Amino acid sequence: MVTETALARAKVNLCLHVTGQRADGYHLLDSLVVFAGTGDQITVSPADRLSLRITGPQAANLPVSDDNLVLRAARLFGDLGAQITLDKHLPIASGIGGGSADAAATLKALSRLWGLELPNAAQVLGLGADVPVCLAGHSARIQGVGEQVTELPHPLPTAWMVLVNPGVAVSTPMVFRGLENRNNAPMPAQLPKFTDLAAFAAFLAAQRNDLEPPALAIAPMIGTVKQALAAQKGCYLARMSGSGATCFALFATEYAANMAAQTITQMYPSWWVQSASMVD
């Protein structure tokens, strides 16, 4: 049987500035996004009708429903049949774009399976603000409501990441509702060339995640996660990703990241902890 697979990498917001709000309620963002070398996997094969099966360690937290982003993405191609399997490894509602990455991977896999062009930009954006950058699949600057995906002018330094989620699902709409200020400063118009990870981390430290304070108010455990990451040897930066509750830390080597992940897992065995490369 013909099958196609696509990796749905975790999306990490290294910084996220909320710079305004449109009349329709959508927030304007300015964010630096990278991907991690870990994620979910989508497998598709021909079938008479469209169906979804969810497997993997996070499957119990995501029951199959008709409004799953994977199925919504598949329907953009029309009334076609396919058996879709989502092997779910990323925690849900966790600020690392799991659902959006799954949708983007579904679009890629089905496009190859059916030999069809990808849906247009407006349709892709209609699935969610993170889907366009997940479809691009490379580090980028995200602006507007997510539709402006700009490739970075220079390659980023090599780095490894540790991603940690304490098992707390955070509602993105609730986080945005908790914002005190919706008109914050963006990143510099021109991003510099970073000579090494230390320079890159210093730049990021001068930026922000404007969603972190309201997310902390909803889930104070996020503060504990950040502290645990920041305390690890070799950590250059620890911050919350997206709307939370997943936090990340940057490390210079795979060894340092793996050691940090092992230490945190020993300290908090119920947390989801993953070390991975930072994919430029």
Q: Which CATH architecture has domain 153-279?
A: 2-Layer Sandwich (3.30)
Residue given tokens 């329709």 in the structure block: 24
High-pLDDT (> 70) share of the chain, %:
100
CATH 3.30.70.890-classified regions of the chain: 153-279
For 154, counting Cβ atoms within 10 Å of its Cβ (0-12 exposed, 13-18 middle, 19+ buried), the class is: exposed
pLDDT band, residue 280 (cuts 50/70/90): confident
Query: Does 93 score more than 90 pLDDT?
Result: no
pLDDT band, residue 169 (cuts 50/70/90): confident
pLDDT band, residue 89 (cuts 50/70/90): very high
Report the catalytic residues: 11, 130
CATH 3.30.230.10-classified regions of the chain: 4-150
In b/e form, how buried is each residue of 125-152, taking b as 16+ CB within 10 angstroms?
bebbbbbbbbbbbebbbbbbbbeebeeb
1 Cβ contact list (under 8 Å, min separation 6): 45, 46
What's the CA gap between 240 and 118, in Å, rounded? 32
Chain mean pLDDT for the chain: 96
Q: Which CATH number fits domain 4-150: 3.90.550.10, 3.40.50.2300, 3.30.420.10, 3.30.230.10?
A: 3.30.230.10
pLDDT tens-digit map of 195-233: 999 999 999 999 999 999 999 999 999 999 999 999 999
Average pLDDT over every residue of 173-187: 96
Residue 45, phi then psi, degrees to nearest 5: -145, 160
Q: What is the pLDDT of residue 1?
A: 74
